[in-house]
Structure 1
Amino acid sequence: MQFSTLALAVGLTAATAQAQDKGTVHLAYVEWSSEVASTNVVRAALEQQGYEVEMTALSAAAMWQAVASGDADAMVAAWLPTTHQDYMDRVGESVEDLGPNLDGTKLGLVVPDYSELETISDINDHADALGNQIIGIDPGAGLMGLTEDVIEAYDLDINLRSGSGATMTAALSSAITNEEEVVVTGWTPHWMFARWDLRYLDDPENVYGGAEQIHTVTRQGLEEDMPEAYAILDNFEWSPEQMGEVMLMNQEEDADPYENAKKWVEENQDVVQKWLSES
Structure 2
Amino acid sequence: MKKTLFILITILLSLVIYGCSASGDSEDTGDEEKPTLTLGVTNWTSTVPPTKIAGQILEDMGYEVEEINADAGSVYTGMSDGDVDVFMDSWFPAQRQYIEEYSDSIESISVSYDDANSGMVVPAYMEDINDVEDLKGNEDIVNNEMIAIGEGDPAMQDMQEVIDFYDLDIEMINSSEAAMLAAAEGEMEEGNPVLFYGWRPHSMFDKFDLKILTNEEVAEQEGLFDSSTIHVIANKGLEEKAPEAYQFLSNWSISMGDVEQMIAEIDSGANPEEVAQEWIDNNQDKVEEMKNGN
Q: State the TM bucket, normalised to the shorter chain.
A: 0.7 to 0.9
Partner SS for 1:37? helix
Q: Determine the structure 1 residue equivalent to 2:122.
A: 111
Partner SS for 2:152? coil
Match status 1:63 vs 2:78: no
Q: Determine the structure 2 residue equivalent to 1:225.
A: 241
Match status 1:100 vs 2:115: no
* 1:22 Cα offset (Å): 2.0
Partner SS for 2:91? strand
Q: 2 CA distance for matches of 1:36 and 1:19?
A: 32
Does the 8 Å CA contact 1:37/1:247 hold for their aligned counterparts? yes
Q: 2 CA distance for matches of 1:20 and 1:201?
A: 53
- Identity percentage of aligned residues: 30
Q: 1 CA distance for matches of 2:31 and 2:254?
A: 26
The structure with the largest alpha-carbon Rg is 2
* Equivalent residue letter for 1:70: G
> Of 94, 103, 106, which aligns to 1:83?
94
Q: 2 CA distance for matches of 1:19 and 1:111?
A: 55
Q: Greater shift after overlay, 269-278 or 32-41? A: 269-278
Q: 2 CA distance for matches of 1:132 and 1:238?
A: 38
* 1:20 Cα offset (Å): 9.7
| Alpha-carbon displacement from aligned partner over 1:29-74 (angstroms, at most 9, x marks no partner) | 2211111221111111212222211011211111111111100111
Q: 2 CA distance for matches of 1:181 and 1:69?
A: 44
Q: Determine the structure 2 residue equivalent to 1:151.
A: 163
Match status 1:42 vs 2:54: yes
* 1:131 Cα offset (Å): 2.1
Change (3 A) 1:243 1:20: farther
* Equivalent residue letter for 1:224: E
Change (3 A) 1:153 1:271: same
Does the 8 Å CA contact 1:135/1:162 hold for their aligned counterparts? yes
Match status 1:141 vs 2:177: no
| Alpha-carbon displacement from aligned partner over 1:180-222 (angstroms, at most 9, x marks no partner) | 1011111121121122111111202215242121111111221
Runs of 5+ unmatched residues, structure 1: 1-17
Does the 8 Å CA contact 1:20/1:52 hold for their aligned counterparts? no
* Equivalent residue letter for 1:135: I
* Equivalent residue letter for 2:277: K
| Alpha-carbon displacement from aligned partner over 1:65-122 (angstroms, at most 9, x marks no partner) | 1111100111112111x21111111101111221312111112111111113122122
Q: 2 CA distance for matches of 1:272 and 1:180?
A: 45
Q: Greater shift after overlay, 36-45 or 146-155? A: 36-45
**Count of residues paired in the alignment:** 260
Does the 8 Å CA contact 2:52/2:272 hold for their aligned counterparts? yes
Change (3 A) 1:19 1:181: farther
Q: Determine the structure 1 residue equivalent to 2:27.
A: none
Query: With structure 1 as the length reference, what TM-score do the two structures score?
Result: 0.87
Query: With structure 2 as the length reference, what TM-score do the two structures score?
Result: 0.83
* Equivalent residue letter for 2:134: D
Task: State the 4+ residue runs in structure 1 displaced beyond 3 angstroms.
Answer: none
Change (3 A) 1:19 1:192: farther
Does the 8 Å CA contact 1:107/1:143 hold for their aligned counterparts? no
* Equivalent residue letter for 2:100: D
> Of 260, 263, 267, which aligns to 1:244?
260
Runs of 5+ unmatched residues, structure 2: 1-29
Aligned alpha-carbon RMSD (Å): 1.9
Does the 8 Å CA contact 1:98/1:218 hold for their aligned counterparts? yes
Q: 2 CA distance for matches of 1:138 and 1:262?
A: 30
Partner SS for 1:92? coil
* Equivalent residue letter for 1:269: Q
Give 1:190-205 correspondences, 5 Å limit.
190-204=202-216, 205=218
* Equivalent residue letter for 1:216: V
> Of 175, 199, 209, which aligns to 1:187?
199
